Structure 1
Amino acid sequence: MSGPDEGANDDIAPSQHEIALEAGAILFSEGDVGDRAYVVRTGRMEVSRRVGSAHVVLAVEGPGTILGEMALIDDQPRSATIRALEPSSLTVVPREAFDFHLARTDPVIRMLLERFTTIIRSISAENVRLILGIR
């Protein structure tokens, strides 16, 4: 026999929490395993890649931006390094919470997210090659 609370939390996402970063702090590095995403609340974050000794800045992101989501969508390593350019606060979205929301998304939208992630990874790699003049 099931208790009164069994299944009661089926529609509640796992908890999220806030973190603070000082200017210059690395949130995660290119190649790391992704187990969470982050939503920027305050501050600015640099998105970069390293090819050999070259440091290529791909973007600077601010409040309202989600970071690290691609590794959760396609289970690939982090595609870039994220560094705080100034004191920043972020909401941590654990894989369980991300998967909770993704599982409730229309299957066609999930397929689009997977496809867009593949395209973004490809374009990002090509942009770095073009910036550095690598063929």
Structure 2
Amino acid sequence: MTHVEPKQAPLALADQEDIELAAGQTLFREGELGDRAYVIRSGRLEISRRIGSAEVVIAVEGPGTILGEMALIDDQPRSATVRAMEPSRLTVVPKEVFQRHLTRTDPVIRMVLERFTSIIRSISAENVRLILGIR
């Protein structure tokens, strides 16, 4: 989950698609394969992780934030579940569009993004375990 200024968000997509979520609606679930990212245009969404039977909210995000990008960077399943807390509008960034931008990025920067994604996944899982007191 990375915050981007709305003017920097991928709005110039020829096939831009916006979606709307009702309060309580799930955008995606932890463990699912990712085929797109999303930029929040309006509303607030909660990001949660599951450890055993417990679900822990790890963040709340609002307009200008991109969600789901980690699964597109490292080709791993979604690391969290994202649910709308209120009516929300998001712009869809298809995997092909995201990958096209990523392949144009300097190879060193791509390596850094992949490394950061790995670190974020590890820290997020450890934080949930610490919150729940699980070793």
Query: What is the TM-score when the length of structure 1 is the normalising length?
Result: 0.89
- Taking the aligned partners of 1:127 and 1:15, their CA distance within structure 2 comes to 38
Superposition pairs of residues 1-135 of structure 1, within 5 angstroms: 15-135=15-135
**Between the two proteins, what is the percent identity of the paired residues?**
76
After superposition, the C-alpha distances for 1:38-89 in whole angstroms (9 at most, x for unaligned) are 0000000000011122110000000000000000000000000000000000
Shift of 1:103: 1.0
How many residues matched? 124
Structure 1 residue ranges without an equivalent (≥5): 1-11
3-state SS, counterpart of residue 32 of structure 2: coil
Q: Is the 8 A contact 1:16 1:94 kept in 2?
A: no
Rg larger for: 1
- Taking the aligned partners of 2:112 and 2:50, their CA distance within structure 1 comes to 28
Shift of 1:15: 2.6
- Taking the aligned partners of 2:82 and 2:65, their CA distance within structure 1 comes to 12
User: What amino acid maps onto 2:33 in structure 1?
Assistant: V
3-state SS, counterpart of residue 71 of structure 2: helix
- Taking the aligned partners of 1:97 and 1:49, their CA distance within structure 2 comes to 27
- Taking the aligned partners of 2:118 and 2:51, their CA distance within structure 1 comes to 20
Q: In the superposition, relative to structure 1, how do residues 76 and 49 fare at CA in structure 2: closer, same or farther (>3 Å)?
A: same
RMSD of aligned Cα (Å): 1.3
Structure 2 residue ranges without an equivalent (≥5): 1-11
Query: What is the TM-score when the length of structure 2 is the normalising length?
Result: 0.89
User: What amino acid maps onto 1:21 in structure 2?
Assistant: L
Q: Which ranges of 4 or more aligned residues in structure 1 deviate by more than 3 Å?
A: none
User: What amino acid maps onto 2:58 in structure 1?
Assistant: L
3-state SS, counterpart of residue 93 of structure 1: strand
Q: In the superposition, relative to structure 1, how do residues 30 and 37 fare at CA in structure 2: closer, same or farther (>3 Å)?
A: same
